[in-house]
Structure 1
Amino acid sequence: MKLDNMSREELQSLQKQVTVALKNYDERKKREAQSKLEAMAKEMGYSLNDFAGGKKGKSGGAAPKYVHPENPGKTWSGRGRQPQWFKDALSSGKSAEDMAI
């Protein structure tokens, strides 16, 4: 790819694509790491919360029970109204067990 031959608009578009790709890459790697750590902890009879001090949800209430399938930063305790991401995942064919922590 010859960057010198690209217009400003093409370069800006490429820059946006690279920014999105890097963000997706980082999120994917974090999910992979979290899955591996959860599996290791489970194999030894623990959960990640046992090591992270039982991190609470945003409200300070119950600990998270479900995690967003693509964004581990979004969690839900299973109490109260279902978040939209949870409803969307269910309607796309995922089960609650698929998103359980």
Structure 2
Amino acid sequence: MGIPMTDIDLTALSLAELKQLEKNVAKAISSFEDRQKAEAFAKVSALAAELGFPLADLVGFAPARKRSEAVAKYRHPENPEITWSGRGRKPAWITDALAAGKTLEDFAI
């Protein structure tokens, strides 16, 4: 299944292509693991339901993990109280500044 590793000539790839390949492989592995976990969870949940129990009653309720508060990496040049962590959509002030020729490093904290 898939492409045998012997069919890929890694020596013919540029550094950028190798790094992209590395990212794609890491993403594929993570996606595969997530699918496997979801399948296992569905099977265990179905078995618990078949026995008349919600899965949460058998293993205890585990709330979803919360992401830690993102640390601010960029600060607005005119109002230091306005920051951005670099996660999610770029705020308008960053987008406008980048369009005007600034770089993210110009706003780094």
Q: What is the TM-score with the length of structure 1 in the denominator? A: 0.53
Gaps of at least 5 residues in structure 1 are 60-101
| % identity of equivalent residues | 34
Q: Distance in 2 between matches of 1:21 and 1:56?
A: 27
RMSD: 1.7
Q: Which residue of 1 aligns with 2:22?
A: 15
User: Structure 1 35/20 Cα, relative in aligned 2: closer, same or farther at 3 Å?
Assistant: same
Equivalent AA in structure 2 for residue 4 of structure 1: T
Alignment of 1:77-92 (within 5 A): none
Q: Which residue of 1 aligns with 2:36?
A: 29
User: Structure 1 6/51 Cα, relative in aligned 2: closer, same or farther at 3 Å?
Assistant: same
User: Deviations 1:58-97 (Å, cap 9, x if unpaired)?
Assistant: 69xxxxxxxxxxxxxxxxxxxxxxxxxxxxxxxxxxxxxx
Aligned residues: 59
Q: Which residue of 1 aligns with 2:60?
A: 53
How many angstroms does 1:47 deviate by? 1.2
Bigger RCO (CA 8 Å, 6+ sep): 1
User: Deviations 1:6-37 (Å, cap 9, x if unpaired)?
Assistant: 11011001001001111100100000000000
Out of 43, 59, 64, the residue aligned to residue 50 of structure 2 is: 43
Q: What is the TM-score with the length of structure 2 in the denominator? A: 0.50
Equivalent AA in structure 2 for residue 52 of structure 1: V
Equivalent AA in structure 1 for residue 50 of structure 2: E
Equivalent AA in structure 1 for residue 33 of structure 2: D
Equivalent AA in structure 2 for residue 40 of structure 1: L
Higher radius of gyration, 1 or 2: 2
Q: Where does structure 1 differ by over 3 angstroms across 4 or more consecutive aligned residues?
A: 56-59
